Amino acid sequence: MDSSILSACDSCTSCVLSRTRKKVVFSRGSEKARLMLIGEAPGASEDALGKPFVGRSGKKLNFLLESVGLNIHEDIYICNAVKCRPPKNRRPTKLEMAACRPWLAKQIQLVDPLVIILAGSTAVEAILGIKGGITSLRGNWRQWEGRWVMPLFHPSYLLRNPSLNKGSPSELTRQDLLKVKKMLERS
């Protein structure tokens, strides 16, 4: 099923980002996973390779996931709120997010995850409709359409704040991922 959605998405021209993208960036990981992660939008590496989170923030993300015992090939399905790269990595606009929303909805329907991680404020806005406030939202469970949702700092924010000390964004994110791991184990 994913392959037919994928090829349909590959030729999508529903917003202006279709004019500047190199590749549509759909997903990586497993469709059978009970965990889904939604990021913001592709960057340069993702646009070149056609896979989400394959650049520097992807390395950081992989490292954090594996550090709590999640297998990045089997335990998670990774995608973005917007499938094509915004020029100069600007934030996707409201219009672009709305145009791309049906693809995200199809992915959620396909994977049917128990838990959704929202990595950063764009993903929080796309799913929960809340603008801003990631610092107070992160680490707290929410319910959304019968699923557990966990907002997290975006990995690129963690790269800009490299401290690993207690209370640092990276350490807090690891705690948040441990909560996700526990939820998956007990559900």
Give the span between the Cα atoms of 124 and 16, in whole angstroms: 22
Q: Interface with ligand URA includes 42 (CB under 6 A)?
A: yes
- Scan residues 10-29 and list those touching ligand SF4 (CB under 6 A): 12-15, 17-18, 24
Size of the site for ligand URA (CB under 6 A): 13
CB of 42 to ligand URA, least distance (A): 5
Interface of this chain with ligand SF4, residues 65 to 94, rule: CB under 6 A: 82-84
The site that binds ligand SF4 (CB under 6 A) totals a number of residues, namely 15
**Is residue 29 part of the contact set for ligand URA (CB under 6 A)?**
no
Q: How far is CA 80 from the centre of its chain?
A: 5
User: Angle, to 10 degrees, between the axis of helix 121-128 and the axis of helix 94-111?
Assistant: 70
CB of 43 to ligand SF4, least distance (A): 14
Please identify, using beta-carbon distances, which residue of 127 and 177 lies nearer to ligand SF4.
127
Q: Angle at Cα 86 formed by Cα 82 and Cα 89, nearest 5°?
A: 110
- Contact between 42 and ligand SF4 per CB under 6 A: no
Minimum Å gap between C-beta 105 and ligand SF4 is: 12
Closest-CA residue to 27 (of 117, 104, 99): 104
First to last CA, the chain: 26
Give the ranges where 39-168 is alpha helix by DSSP (H).
44-49, 56-67, 94-111, 121-128, 134-137, 155-160
With CB under 5 to 8 Å by kind, the binding choice for 151 among ligand URA, ligand SF4, none is none
Residue that is written with structure tokens 């184990």 in the block: 185
SS3 27: coil
Binding site for ligand URA (CB under 6 A): 39-43, 46, 52-53, 55, 57-58, 80, 156
Residues that bind ligand SF4 (CB under 6 A): 9, 12-15, 17-18, 24, 82-84, 96, 99-100, 103
